[in-house]
Amino acid sequence: MSIWLFRAGSNGEYESKFLNDKRIYLTWDDLDINLKKFNKKEDLYMFLVDKYDLEKEKTAINWASQIYPIAHRMKIGDWVVLPSKINRTIHFGKIVGDYNYDKSLGSPYYHYREVEWFAVDIPRDKFEQDILYSMGAFMTVCRIHKNNAEEIMYENNWNITDKSIPQKIDESDDEIRFDLDEYIFDRISDYIIKKFKGHKMEILVEEILKAKGFTTYRSPEGADNGVDILAASDILGFGSTKICVQVKTADSPIDRPTMDQLIGTMSNFNADYGLLVSWTGFKTSVIKEIPKQFFKVRLWDSKKIIEQLFENYDKLSDEIKTEIPLKRVWMLNIEE
């Protein structure tokens, strides 16, 4: 059995279609040819050079290495790992169908395999850093090697704790580039949740809101009447922007009823807006509500909280800076 890393678009734009259709698509623009025609990867390489007018040999090799597997190397029973770009979660599936080419589906959905998604919305915090690093390749498609990975994942309820087990990405064909941003977020996320689990996360969120210029009230630990933090603009908190904040650090993404509860609480407290914070992210039922609640509710997961830390770090209290010591690093953002 093999484990394949698959991505649903650079920004997760195809993720809902993958999950709803119970398929993985090779979302390569305008690749309107049956990949079974290429018996060797070298033949596919030559085709790509000609079709896409690729000047760099390295690019053509890289593309061929990602395109070839869906038709020739993936097998029924193999696992698929789909890291979410919409939410800080990971989806797991098992390939249950052969390769299909259907031109009638239109670009970029010509190529697909049927998948049974047996575990969705698993928080990234469930996994150790070495596992997350192995999922951090920039590739759209690549193979992950790990001894007995599927058995270990199942037995540990998706929480891999044995860092001694070696892991690597299949690098036999091309150079693998890793998503450094994602790796940094994972490292910082792991550090923060160890220090700010439970009620302390409310303190962190409150400090961020203060840094953004809000006056706040934080409910005492314990019963909170459905609201953890109240925030309002202006020095005394009498400004027109009034926000109800609910903060969750549960072990799993939160579902729709939590959002509904926040909306009800907003009415009880005469708040204009709501901020729902869930360190482990949100289930699909909540994500689907984003357009409907766009003008009333905002969602923060762990990545959004970290982004807010970066944005407002200089204005945070000395206590928070001591708890979360960060420094700015500059580097060239170019591809060779």
Q: Tell me: the pLDDT tens digits for 212-245? A: 999 999 998 776 677 899 999 887 878 789 999 9
- pLDDT value of position 206: 97
SS3 content of the chain, % helix, strand, coil (to 5): 35, 20, 45
Question: What is the percentage of the chain residues whose pLDDT exceeds 90?
Answer: 56
Domain ranges of the chain: 3-178, 196-323
What sign results for the dihedral spanned by CA atoms 181, 187, 190, 193?
negative
- pLDDT value of position 138: 64
- pLDDT value of position 66: 93
Architecture of domain 196-323: 3-Layer(aba) Sandwich (3.40)
The residue whose two tokens read 């579902």 is 255
Query: How do residues 137-164 score in pLDDT, each as one tens digit?
Result: 667 898 876 545 555 555 555 455 443 3
Residues with pLDDT less than 70, the chain? 129-131, 133-138, 145-179, 223-224, 331-336
Compute the mean pLDDT over every residue in the chain, rounded to the nearest whole number: 85
- pLDDT value of position 334: 60
- pLDDT value of position 244: 96
- pLDDT value of position 309: 95
pTM score above 0.75: no
Q: How deeply is 173 buried, as exposed, middle or buried, from its count of CB atoms within 10 A (0-12, 13-18, 19+)?
A: middle
Pick the CATH number of 3-178 from 1.10.150, 2.10.260, 3.10.590, 1.10.3470: 3.10.590
Residue 57 has a CB neighbour count (10 Å cut-off) of 10
User: Do 23 and 6 form a contact (C-beta atoms < 8 A)?
Assistant: no
